[in-house]
Amino acid sequence: MGRMLPGTRALRTFEAAGRHLNFTRAADEVGLTPAAVSYQIKEIEDQLGLVLFARSSRSIQLTPAGAVVFEATVQALEALQGAVGRARRMARGARELRVSLTPRFATNWLLPRLSQFRAAHPAIELTFDINDEVRDFDADDVDLAIRFGSGRYPQLHAERLFEAVIAPVCSPKLISAGGEPKSPDALFDHTLCHVECYTEGMLWPNWRMWMAAAGIDAFDDSRCVAFSDTSHVVEAVTDGGAVGLVDLAMIKNELAEGRLVRLFDIGVSLGGDYAYHLVYPESASQDPRILAFSDWMLSEVGRANSAPLANTAG
């Protein structure tokens, strides 16, 4: 009888260790201690009768046998994850359409319009995977996604929705307390915050870029406050009296309701093909549920783009 193979959890630990070639980083990823990772790897080696890692005081490396097992482990885990994703999609049935999107896009753009889609397409049951992570269509239980990027994704169809226009906003309370800023350099006296992140290697627009677009080239951004998420910028603007750079499409509700006010008619974007896209596998391009949702989204985008943004000061 052949040797028993390690279980899925042990294989995930081995895969993380083989990818990082570092037990500490692998431990952080799989939620174990470095000692527990080392112990589990030793158990796998004893179970297989193979030495998988060459260990030294400073580093670990896969042995030739370990490299063979590592490659097979990666393939096996990917195949299993893909099969589980396909099985979940089958179990959901033909009526359900599962959409992956970010929390901000869901809250500020899609959910307020959701009743209109359901009224137009009562036979389609929409469910959501609301997460900032980019999902894998082969492995994860999603049918389509709304992503910000270039729209160039292998084996995926991307329908451009709209670009991100980044502009400064403030709370009406700030204007009531100190008056409306009359020029961009009047913002120097305020706390300025923005999102600091990269999208496909491109830096998200920040205050230095916006000031340059406003004609101020020698802007010192050392006192600007950077956040990792738009919601934190909106919170700082609403509650803390800061002036924030935000994606206008993602705060259209706040602008329309007067909770935020746009400052100046100057906006910056990543430019080129960078925009919000509706993305789905090319193999699903004839799925009537996806086609219905895509047509509806494009129609809503056209309506939204034709409506002016409210509450612009300066």
Output 168 or 89, whichever has higher pLDDT: 168
DSSP string, 16-35: HHHHHT-HHHHHHHHT--HH
Quick one: what percent of the chain has pLDDT higher than 90?
A: 61
Residue 279: strand pairing partners: 145, 158
pLDDT at 292: 94
SS3 182: coil
C-beta separation of 219 from 188 below 8 A: no
d(CA 47, CA 7): 11
pTM of the model: 0.70
In which band, very low, low, confident or very high, does the pLDDT at 307 lie, cut at 50, 70 and 90? low
7, two tokens: 């279980």
Q: Which domains does the chain have, with CATH numbers?
A: 8-88 (1.10.10.10), 93-163+273-313 (3.40.190.10), 166-263 (3.40.190.10)
Tell me the average pLDDT of the chain: 88
pLDDT at 313: 59
Handedness of CA 240, 244, 247, 248 (dihedral sign): positive
pLDDT at 134: 82
Distances (CA, A) of 59 to 15, 17, 18, 55, 72: 16, 12, 12, 6, 23
Q: What are phi and psi of 211, to 5 degrees?
A: -60, -40
- Mean pLDDT for the stretch of residues 170-183: 89
Instruction: Of 78-87, 93-102, 148-157, give the range with the top mean pLDDT.
Output: 148-157
d(CA 300, CA 269): 21
C-beta separation of 214 from 168 below 8 A: no
d(CA 129, CA 107): 13
Q: Report CA dihedral (52, 56, 60, 62) to the nearest 10 degrees.
A: -40
In which band, very low, low, confident or very high, does the pLDDT at 28 lie, cut at 50, 70 and 90? very high
**How many CB atoms sit inside 10 A of residue 287's CB?**
17
Q: Which residues contact 20 (CB under 8 A, 6 or more apart)?
A: 26, 29
Helices first, then strands: H and E counts in the chain: 11, 15
**How many CB atoms sit inside 10 A of residue 308's CB?**
6
pLDDT at 303: 85
Kindly tell me if the per-residue pLDDT of 311 is higher than 60: no
Q: What are phi and psi of 195, to 5 degrees?
A: -90, 135
* Half-sphere CA count of 198, side-chain side, radius 13 A: 3
- Pairing assessment for the beta strands 192-195 and 225-227 based on DSSP bridges: parallel
Q: What are phi and psi of 58, to 5 degrees?
A: -115, -20
Computed on alpha carbons and rounded to an integer, the radius of gyration of the chain in Å comes to 25
pLDDT at 1: 44
DSSP 247: E
SS3 170: strand
Quick one: what percent of the chain has pLDDT higher than 70?
A: 93
pLDDT at 3: 65
SS3 140: coil
pLDDT at 94: 67
